Amino acid sequence: MTVLAHGIGRSTDLPLPLDLVLQAGAATVAISFLGSALLWRRPRLSPATERHPSSGWWLPPLRIAALIVSVYITANALLGPRDLSNPAARALYVWLWVGLIPLSLVFGPAWRALNPLRTIHRLLRLAIPARRRPSPTPEPATAEPPAAESAVARPPVAGPAAARPPALGPAALGPAGAGPGPAIAGPAVAVGALLGFVWLELIAPDRTDPLVIGGFLVAYAVVQLAFAARYGEDWFRRGDAFEIYSELAGRLSPLRWRPWLSGLATDHPAGFGRAAFLAVWWGSTIFDSASGSPAWAALVQRTGHPAWLGTAGLLTVCGLLLLGVRLLAGKLDITNSLIPIAAGYTLAHYLSLLLTEGPSGALLAVQQWGVAESASWTLIPDPKLISILQVVLILTGHALGVLAAHDLALADAPPGRPPLATLAAELPVVLFMIVCTWAGLFLLFVR
């Protein structure tokens, strides 16, 4: 089976020379920093208010629909045709991985509301009587969360304390005697699950084989449901990679958060777990761009071991990003400010894939039932327009990242600290983002 193509834009499609685009990228980051330094003198993103729908009558039908589609795709992957007529690859790599980004950017953590594993867990709880267990023993209110605390959201806190992580309360505990449970295991499992998924998507030799995809979906569901049976439904918020992925992107939702971008100021400092998750998310997309270059193809041809070389390359890119983030975190925790950068680069990288393969997968799914058998999706987006949108998405993500990093730096600054000292602490962050902007634009358009 052929591998889904991930892009159609090239440097020759750009309306401007690549060197001017790279200069514009550096200028965007620098101007964002200078503008925020002059106009953004106090933290504005906290306290944050997370808005929720006033009525949820529409959620149960959507959850049941998501469960039916998920079961159908998984069964079709395991039992259906093992060729390009099977929509399983598009469902996993396009609908879920790429489609969740715009959905979450608009509506917030959409996968938390639709997650079919949550629905299965609830149905199993109704069908199987729960064993009586002693109630968890609450920890003192002053207990501090572990250093690895999580890649996911906690409820926002009003007032000045919003910039600090709340104490680890009973909701994070497992059964009595089990200790913090998902508060520690969740981030590790989520990072490992995301790393396994991106390895499957980018490196596995048979990654578009429906049988391989079906096996991955079943294994993922079994592991997640087993942890949920042990720790309760709150596990999905901490340990389900796709739910965390959607939740992080949802922090940019203007419908979900007031003021806008204030979701980036919650759970700050973020900790190692979220930094590792973002490094895998963003690093896998960067690696995907790099692995499409002629230089990488020549290296793979010389070595003759694409899977081993790809695995080493993926781990190296993700590890370097994590190292850079944690080194910069010595004076300023910039983890949350990477969320708009990762979301913008992911959308830019997979934009053409979403427009071409997303509808094609939906068409294949209905054609298996004898509907619209003669129809086809032949949309070919204009390369120049796609290239312009890709540049805009990358630069917007980095500009928002700079603003968020500046606000977090102001929130972290001790009382009486001179403004110049705060700006000096941000300079390594700005240089880091300029390098990342250049690298992102270069890898996206130079193949």
Q: Domain span at residue 322? A: 11-51+67-125+148-154+170-445
> Is residue 23, in this structure, part of any structural domain at all?
yes
State the pTM of this model: 0.84
> Is residue 20, in this structure, part of any structural domain at all?
yes
Average the pLDDT over 236-258 and give the result.
95
> Is residue 350, in this structure, part of any structural domain at all?
yes
Residue 49, beta-bridge partner list: 258
Q: What is the tally of structural domains in the chain?
A: 1
Q: In the prediction, which pLDDT does 31 show?
A: 87
> Is residue 16, in this structure, part of any structural domain at all?
yes
pLDDT reading at 226 higher than 50:
yes
Neighbouring residues of 348: CB distance < 8 A, sequence distance ≥ 6: 389, 390, 391, 393, 394, 440, 444
> Is residue 136, in this structure, part of any structural domain at all?
no
The pLDDT tens digits for 41-91 are 888 888 888 888 877 888 999 999 999 999 999 999 999 998 888 999 999
The pLDDT tens digits for 319-375 are 999 988 888 755 678 889 999 999 999 999 999 889 989 898 899 888 888 787 777
> Is residue 131, in this structure, part of any structural domain at all?
no
> Is residue 40, in this structure, part of any structural domain at all?
yes
Most confident of 3-17, 125-139, 390-404: 390-404
| Percent of all residues in the chain with a pLDDT value above 90, rounded to a whole number | 43
> Is residue 251, in this structure, part of any structural domain at all?
yes
